[in-house]
């Protein structure tokens, strides 16, 4: 699993338009909310996969070096996914949606069916609102899919009801919050063990004096 700090830093840099290796050529894909939704999906994806590009014999490097390497790998992957995958895909998808009525009309005319009523109703797909909604739909599809694939949420629990699904999300959120503070949890366990040890030593000392 990628470390939280380098991945978060790489995502924040990309969200603020700071690029190290390359910037996206098509700037029409942001600053819409769909861009940031897909960027959030990339964050969960990179956080869930290992970002160690070097062999296992080099994994004993000191922590600052390994963090820097993971940060650079995260920056490369984020800039590649956003510039060469998301922006071209979003541009082509948004350009395809307004052509759907024409494609349906041509297909219906080929088989000799009058689809005037259907195509007139689908003319709404050529509106600006429909184009924005299609962009959000595409980014939401990737975000929800990656959240389920990375086991951030489990949509299968919806079969058991919304309440069960909400309880599971609460448990996962609590586990995530505890995982962000590993030092604090370890210190608490150490203090508890010290207290138990001191109490047991005091009780044994009292028994010996008796």
| Residue 57 included in any domain | yes
Contact of 180 with 199, CB cutoff 8 Å: no
The distance from CA 80 to its chain's CA centroid, rounded to whole angstroms, is: 16
| Residue 85 included in any domain | yes
| Residue 60 included in any domain | yes
Cβ-based neighbours of 209, under 8 Å, separated by 6 or more: none
Calpha distance 157→167 (Å, rounded): 10
CB atoms within 10 A of CB 63: 8
| Residue 174 included in any domain | no
14 vs 203 pLDDT, higher one = 14
| Residue 10 included in any domain | yes
| Residue 178 included in any domain | no
Boundaries of domain holding 17: 4-153
pLDDT, tens digit, for every residue of 103-142? 888 888 788 777 677 777 888 888 888 888 999 999 999 9
Number of domains in the chain: 1
pLDDT, tens digit, for every residue of 83-104? 889 988 998 999 999 888 888 8
Calpha distance 133→125 (Å, rounded): 10
Calpha distance 59→65 (Å, rounded): 10
| Residue 185 included in any domain | no
The size of the chain, in residues, is 210
């Amino acid at each position: 699993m990628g470390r939280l700090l380098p991945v978060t830093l790489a995502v924040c840099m990309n969200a603020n338009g700071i690029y190290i290796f390359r910037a996206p050529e098509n700037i029409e894909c942001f600053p819409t909310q769909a861009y940031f939704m897909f960027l959030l999906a990339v964050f969960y994806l990179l956080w869930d996969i290992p970002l160690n590009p070097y062999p296992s014999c080099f994994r004993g490097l000191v922590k600052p070096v390994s963090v820097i390497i993971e940060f650079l790998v995260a920056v490369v992957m984020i800039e590649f996914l956003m510039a060469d995958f998301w922006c071209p895909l979003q541009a082509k998808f948004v350009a395809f949606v307004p052509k759907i009525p024409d494609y349906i009309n041509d297909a219906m005319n080929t088989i000799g069916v009058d689809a005037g009523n259907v195509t007139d109703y689908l003319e709404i797909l050529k509106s600006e609102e429909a184009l924005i909604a299609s962009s959000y739909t595409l980014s939401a599809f990737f975000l929800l899919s990656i959240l389920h694939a990375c086991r951030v949420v489990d949509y299968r629990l919806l079969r058991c009801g919304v309440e069960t699904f909400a309880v599971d999300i609460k448990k996962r959120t609590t586990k995530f919050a505890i995982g962000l503070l590993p030092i604090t949890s370890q210190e608490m366990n150490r203090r508890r063990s010290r207290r138990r040890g001191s109490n047991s030593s005091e009780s044994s000392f009292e028994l010996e004096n008796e």
